[in-house]
Structure 1
Amino acid sequence: TKSIARFAERFDLPVATSFRRASLIDADHSHYAGDLGIGPSPGLKARIDGADVILLIGGRMSEMPSSSYTLLDIPTPQQKLIHVHPGSEELGRVYQPALAIQATPAAFAAAVETLKPSDAVAWKGEAAKAHADYLAWTEKARELPGAFQYGQVMTWLRDRLPKDAIVCNGAGNYAGWIHRHHRFHSFAAQLAPTSGSMGYGVPAAVLAKRQYPDRTVVAFAGDGCFLMNGQEFATAVQYDAALVVIVVDNSQYGTIRMHQERDYPGRVVGTQLKNPDFAMYAKAFGGHGERVERTEEFAPAFERALASGKPSILHCIIDPRAISVGKDFAPAVKA
């Protein structure tokens, strides 16, 4: 990844990462333009729409990074696509590239390490503009319904966490705030599924803390997501893996509920959840647990969780209407 960053610097190219691959480049890098995940920044999307050439290294540009296959024309993108991928079966499978290169990302990065532009690049300064757009897009959280402002908590954590902190999550709308506002700085600092798997974050965090006991490890989970594999908190306690789990509780399967509210208003079904007290759940296993209902309660609770030296759960109550980082939906009717 450092080789690709240097290549981008020499050619003054903006660099975007694929869905949940943001830790492949330091978010502070002057050429970083953001990630192509769910709800990408309008500025980044416009840059891709207007690009002459796209260099895709190691990715497939599948459903999530392609905004459900709408970002690039199929089968032949209007941009000249250079696709680098280790699997020959992937090259040309969805998109017909102008140039297909069968190579691993590591081999390709080594090959371009010494490349230099022959002349001054005509697009000089565009990478800096793209990075400025990324910073502006991620800087400030919008106001949400309710007393717990999840976006403000994310921006506080962004400034509070060490740069080598490992952030884990599963699948769900709650992850949108991580993608939008957190900034990753070191390799493997983001552990999250690209397959839509719920329940990934907690067991991933247990392993991460076992592998890197000196690094801060934080797992985010929606209430429904946590209930998939939350029992792995017992493993954290058993092995003294002092991670912090932030359970974002809106008492519903938020992503599914959002789709129901959007596509079938007034006809929601099977998305309400009856949850336990997750703070008491942590204490029952011998960990540290606290309930957080207001934004201002979060920072001191987080500091106490770290200071406890135990695996911890912060049970954060979010308004059910705060269902999306990007859009508001009308209050749901009860299923």
Structure 2
Amino acid sequence: MIPNHDGRIMTGGEAIVSALLANGIETVYGLPGAQMYPFFDALYQHADRIRTVGARHEQACAYMAFGHARTTGKPGVFSVVPGPGVLNTMAALCTAAGCSAPVLLVTGQVPTPFIGRGRGHLHELPDQLGTLRSIVKWAARIERPADAPRILNEAFRQMMSGRPGPVAVEMAWDTMASSERVHPLDAAEPDAPVPPLAEAITEAAERIKWAKRPLIMVGSGAQHAAAAVRALAEATGAPVTAFRGGRGIMPETHALGLSSYAAYRYWPEVDVVIGIGSRLEMPYMRWTGMRTMIDAPEAPPHLIRIDIDPAEMNRLKPHTAIVADAEEATEALLAALDHAGHKAHPAPEAVASAKLSAATETASVKPHVDYLHVIREELPYEGIFVEELCQAGFTSQFAFPVVRPRSYLSAGYQGTLGFGFMSALGAKAANPDRPVVSITGDGGFLFGVQELATAKQYGIGVVTIVFNNNAYGNVMRDQQTGFGGRTIGSRLENPDFMDLARSFHISGHRVTTPEELRPVLRKAIAADAPALIEVKVDAGSEVPPWPFIHPTG
């Protein structure tokens, strides 16, 4: 990297903000504190170029950065104090790691002379970098202001190269306040992905050439490759499915778009699976009961994997491994099939039958399928839907059609209860022109209910639908059915959600049926302002969604 102009005297905080600006960052989600004052003061001085969105709890800062990253594909940045502040964000960092989301944490550290001394300085952890490195992709300390451009650029390079993931930088309290001459750098450049091996592409094309019933499964790693995936599907007649992270890459309204449960119904027909940027959780974990470890699937079906992370090929060993960027490899595979004169073997009747069977069976998951149908009809296709670990959220994994990439926000395999509402705030802040609907249970919503104040203060127009069954519904059902009806810690006494909405000065509405929800939701989306809609649900009336998430019969 070459300095892009002569340096100037900066504090450590100013040097970090300068590096963020050089890398195109326009928003920081943060909660200031003693060690971070110089950084937040620098944000204030550059408020015309970089926006700071405050929060009421550190976890919300991190989840907002996560929602920002997942819905844009661009880095989400947050800043909190070290020690307890960092620890309060660990669930969100785990979620970002699990979902391969590019999230950057900027934090502080005790004064330099105290690092590693164990004196019990304010917010001291025994080994903050070690703690972070156990979760994030990369972490480092900035030892002096002049080092900030280089280390921040390395953070961006690590975050965006190969498999994206969260990273962290820390700077000591005294260093952040000290000044020296800093030479800014141009924006970091991610590493170019390794091109796919021609031999692997040829082998994969040969497998597909003889396939009668291929199936494509996509994950988060294919979000940027939607056009190539669709072209491959149409060239081969292979339907496309996703569980969470890859939803919307192929519209589920397309003739070749399958929901996760429709894919299960189609699975007996499949002779080749093409996994693109996906861990392939459905067939090799979900559909085998979650306790059977499969690391080398037997054929049929033959497994072809396209993934930028070479470690994935050891975690689940395919018959053909293509280590490369999803878009580049999929385009190469298309070219190889075309060169080989491949003729598709479409099975429109089998695909349509799987879709119809799935829709018919899943309609039984009352009342949540009916509520989700209303939300789908009222939320424009460009809108963003944020699920949660609740009965309606689980149901949405197979009963809420997704039609565009980056429009379905999930916590992925981490399953972090309470992530939804806070992540939705980041999604809306990053996409102000797109409507955002967050669905949540009463239990998960109260993890971050204080962020209604953040929504109001910054005019973040998320529409939040709280399904209130006065319980951690899934836990309560499991206790009732699996432990002789004994329930503990799963029944909840909730506030009056309408009084709560009024206390935060946002609109509140209570409904009891899907048709009551429709006009309320339509009006709330049109208003583009924070809104809270409570859906009253009798816990005993909810049909469990699990037979369609863990189907084994």
Same fold judged by TM-score > 0.5?
A: yes
* Residue aligning to 2:402: 184
Shift of 1:214: 1.8
Partner of 2:379: 161
User: More deviation in 293-302 or 158-167?
Assistant: 293-302
Query: Could you tell which deviates more after superposition, 135-144 or 2-11?
Result: 135-144
Task: Confirm or deny that 1:108 pairs with 2:326.
Answer: no
* Pairwise CA distance, 1:64: 8.9
| Structure 2 CA distance for aligned equivalents of residues 97 and 158 of structure 1 | 36
Give % identity.
24
Q: Give the Å deviation of 1:207.
A: 1.4
Q: Which has the higher helix share?
A: 2
In structure 2, distance between residues paired with 1:290 and 1:232: 18
Pick closer, same or farther for the CA change 1:212–1:135 going to 2, 3 Å.
Answer: farther
SS in 2 for 1:245: strand
Give, in whole Å, the separation in 2 of the partners of 1:65 and 1:20. Answer: 16
Distance in 2 (CA, whole Å) between partners of 1:76 and 1:64 is: 10
SS of 1:321's equivalent in the other structure is helix
2:517 to 298, 320, 330: 298
Determine whether 1:51 maps to 2:276. Answer: no
Q: 1:332 corresponds to which residue?
A: none
Relative to structure 1, the CA distance from residue 31 to residue 105 in structure 2 (aligned partners, 3 Å threshold; closer, same or farther) is same
Task: Note the alpha carbon deviations across 1:291-333, whole angstroms, 9 max, x for none.
Answer: 11233321222233234442000011111023444479xxxxx
Asked whether the equivalents of residues 14 and 131 of structure 1 are also in contact (C-alpha less than 8 Å), the reply is no
SS in 2 for 1:23: coil
Stretches of structure 2 that go unaligned for 5 or more consecutive residues are 1-225, 548-553
List, as ranges, runs of 4+ consecutive aligned residues in structure 1 with deviation greater than 6 Å: none
Q: Match for residue 288 of structure 1? A: 507
Matched residue SS, 1:101: strand
Would you say how many aligned residue pairs link Structure 1 and Structure 2?
315
Give me the whole-angstrom Cα distance separating, in 1, the residues matched to 2:284 and 2:400. 18
Alignment-derived partner of residue 272 in structure 1: 491
Q: 1:96 aligns with which of 295, 317, 327?
A: 317
Q: Secondary structure in 2 aligned to 1:24?
A: coil
How do 1:72-91 and structure 2 match up within 5 A?
74-78=295-299, 79-91=301-313
Residue identity opposite 2:253 in structure 1: D
Helix, strand or coil at the partner of 2:447: helix
Say if 1:63 and 1:155 are closer, same or farther in 2 by CA, change over 3 A: closer
Of stretches 199-208 and 108-117 in structure 1, the one that deviates more from structure 2 is 108-117
Q: What is the CA-CA distance between 1:11 and the residue it aligns to?
A: 0.9
Secondary structure in 2 matching 1:218: strand
Is the Cα contact below 8 Å between 2:259 and 2:401 reproduced in 1? no
Q: Contact (CA 8 Å) 2:511, 2:534: kept in 1 or not?
A: yes
Cα distance in 2 between the residues matched to 1:210 and 1:258: 36
Runs of at least 5 residues in structure 1 that lack an aligned partner in the other structure: 329-335
If the length of structure 1 is used for normalisation, what is the TM-score? 0.85
Superposition deviation, residue 290 in structure 1: 0.9
Instruction: Give the equivalent residue in structure 1 for 2:388.
Output: 170
User: What is the CA distance between 1:80 and its match in structure 2?
Assistant: 1.1
Are 1:14 and 1:127, in contact at CA under 8 Å, matched by a contact in 2? Answer: no
8 Å CA contact 1:58–1:86 kept in 2: the answer is yes
Give distance in 1, aligned partners of 2:234 and 2:282: 29
**Aligned partners of 2:395 and 2:545 also within 8 Å:** no
- Hey, what's the Cα distance between the residues in 2 that align with 1:22 and 1:206? 20
- Cα-to-partner distance string for 1:191-248 (whole Å, 9 max, x where unaligned): 1111101111111211122122221110000011101112222211111111210000
Q: SS of 1:313's equivalent?
A: strand
Q: Quote the residue 2:247 is aligned against.
A: 22
The within-5 A match list for 1:85-234 is 85-93=307-315, 95-114=316-335, 115-116=337-338, 118-121=341-344, 123-124=345-346, 126-127=347-348, 129-131=350-352, 133-134=354-355, 137-138=358-359, 141-142=363-364, 144=366, 149-194=367-412, 195-234=414-453
**Paired residues of 2:502 and 2:508 also in contact (CA < 8 A):** yes
Q: Partners in 2 of 1:226 and 1:46 — Cα distance?
A: 34
Is the Cα contact below 8 Å between 1:244 and 1:311 reproduced in 2?
Answer: yes
Query: In 2, are the aligned partners of 1:176 and 1:324 still within 8 Å (CA)?
Result: no
Structure 1 CA distance, aligned partners of 2:526 and 2:310? 50
Q: For the residues of structure 2 that align with 1:238 and 1:203, how far apart are their CA atoms?
A: 14
- Which protein is bigger by CA-based radius of gyration? 2
The answer to whether the Cα contact below 8 Å between 1:31 and 1:128 also exists between their aligned partners in 2 is no
CA distance in 2, matches of 1:65, 1:232: 38
CA distance in 2, matches of 1:250, 1:64: 32
Q: Which residue of 2 aligns with 1:3?
A: 228
What do residues 10-58 of structure 1 show as CA deviations (whole Å, max 9, x unaligned)? 11111111334312221222211222xxxx34xx224324421111111
CA separation of 1:234/1:64 partners in 2, compared to 1, >3 Å: closer, same or farther?
farther
Distance 1:304 1:217, change over 3 A: same
Query: Any conservation in 1 of the 2:229–2:249 contact (CA below 8 Å)?
Result: no
Change in Cα spacing, 1:197 to 1:74, as seen in structure 2 (3 Å) is same
